[in-house]
Amino acid sequence: MKLSVVEIEKTFGTISAVDKVSFELERREFLSLLGPSGCGKTTILRLIAGFERPDAGQILLDGRKLLPVPPEKRQIGFVFQNYALFPHMTVARNIAYGVRFDRRIDTQRRVEELLDLVDLRGFERRRPAELSSGQSQRVALARALAPKPELLLLDEPLSALDAKLRESLRSEIRRIQQEIRLSAIYVTHDQEEALALSDRIGVINEGRIEQIGTPKAIYHHPETTFVASFIGHTNRLEGTVIGYVDECMQVKVGRELLLVADSGAASGTRVTLFIKEEDLHLDGSGKNTLIAQVKRIEYRGDATVIALVSPLGSLRARIAGTKEDLPGIGGRVTVGFEEKDVILIADS
């Protein structure tokens, strides 16, 4: 199964929700659409499912045009953000609802298969009010899978769950998707979810795809200022390329000169620099060094974040674990970072 989304557009009144979005989903691929609330990612999902109709563009499934096909005949499963379970039906009946008109499927057998798949055997006679949020999410997933769809769409299915349960269930979603060899598109605003789950990620901003690529490429090689700002924890600086030194670009930021890996930008080019918090070292290692003062220390359990005042302005450094030998508030540290760890994006 290959999905092709070609130049789709959708406007609500004067608001452009989806603006010329194109991408392809390969067989058995897990693609996440990642972006802030209101960026258009859910609308893209609803256009693919057939709940909305695009104003322009085309959607094809294995070369077959989907726009004339009603939602119930598109062979697409949809997991809603609020699960949309029927409160008066048992778990088994909720799951069976998805295949109620398909005589090719043995309903009882299919329900039993799915109960095993989502680990809800023994819960078939319970009603949604008797389930936890995590169990309800599993029922919604099973119902979407009941008619054996060619494509599964998931609209922020874990957003209502606590952090620990979300982490557990996202692994289950990935396991199930791989086990039944199904193509899937997953909408989320949580970058950690997208990075952990996906074969590829499409970063959405104001109805457009800013970048699409592997999690590693999206994280380490952002192509736009929005992607660089949105993915990971970064420090943002503005500067101007002034020349080259030792096969590196020299960029002036305020009164400081920084060495940056050569990106081919010409002298005089205005640029935006991004340095991830974890790439700032407090031992002064790296081709770029500067003296900074500790403004605040935040303990995050698995990391310690240090807010700094520096000649470059405010910076934040992230250190794995908890360090006992950090200077106190007001103390001075030598901050260093490598030229290869600076992400440079030329201003357009």
Between CA 333 and CA 325 the distance in angstroms is 12
Which range of residues forms the domain containing residue 210?
Answer: 3-228
Question: Does residue 243 share a domain with residue 305?
Answer: yes
Determine the pLDDT at residue 321: 73
b/e map 4-15, b = 16+ CB within 10 Å: bbeebbbeeeee
3-state helix, strand, coil in the chain (%, to 5): 25, 40, 35
* Domain CATH for 302: 2.40.50.140
Helix/strand/coil for 150: coil
Same domain for 118 and 8:
yes
Same domain, 220 and 239: no
Regarding whether 284 and 206 lie in a shared domain, the answer is no
Q: How many domains does the chain have?
A: 2
185 and 259 belong to one structural domain: no
pLDDT of residue 101: 65
- Residue 47's alpha-carbon distances to 8, 57, 92, 279, in angstroms, are 9, 11, 29, 40
- φ/ψ bin of 61: left (φ > 0), alpha (ψ from -120 to 50), beta (otherwise): beta
Do 32 and 187 meet the contact criterion of CB atoms below 8 Å apart? yes
- Helix (H) / strand (E) element for 45: namely helix 41-49
Average pLDDT across each block of 10 residues of the chain; the chain has 348 residues. List them in order.
95 96 96 96 97 97 94 92 90 88 81 93 94 92 92 91 85 92 95 95 97 97 96 96 91 96 91 97 92 93 92 94 78 95 91
Q: Given 228, 261, 282, which residue is the final one in a domain?
A: 228
Pull the structure tokens for residue 291. 């003296």
Domain boundary among 181, 197, 228: 228
CA atoms of 136 and 82, how far apart (whole Å): 9
131 and 246 within one domain = no
HSE (side-chain half, CA atoms, 13 Å) at 273: 31
Whether 182 and 46 share a structural domain: yes
Residues 246 and 209 in one domain: no
Whether this model's pTM surpasses 0.95 = no
Kindly report the CATH number assigned to the domain that includes residue 63: 3.40.50.300
Task: Tell which residue, 92, 84, 105, has the closest CA to residue 154.
Answer: 84
> CB–CB of 228/345 below 8 Å?
yes
Q: Are residues 219 and 93 in the same domain?
A: yes
* Partner residues linked to 308 by β-bridges: 294, 315
Please report which helix (H) or strand (E) contains residue 294, including its range.
strand 288-299
Domain identity same for 341 and 248: yes
| 173 and 305 within one domain | no
* Same domain flag for 178 and 200: yes
Phi, psi (rounded to 5 degrees) for 132: -75, 170
Give ∠ CA 167-146-198 in degrees, rounded to 5.
35
Would you tell me how many other CB atoms lie within 10 Å of the CB of residue 62?
10
Q: Give me the pLDDT at residue 159, please.
A: 83
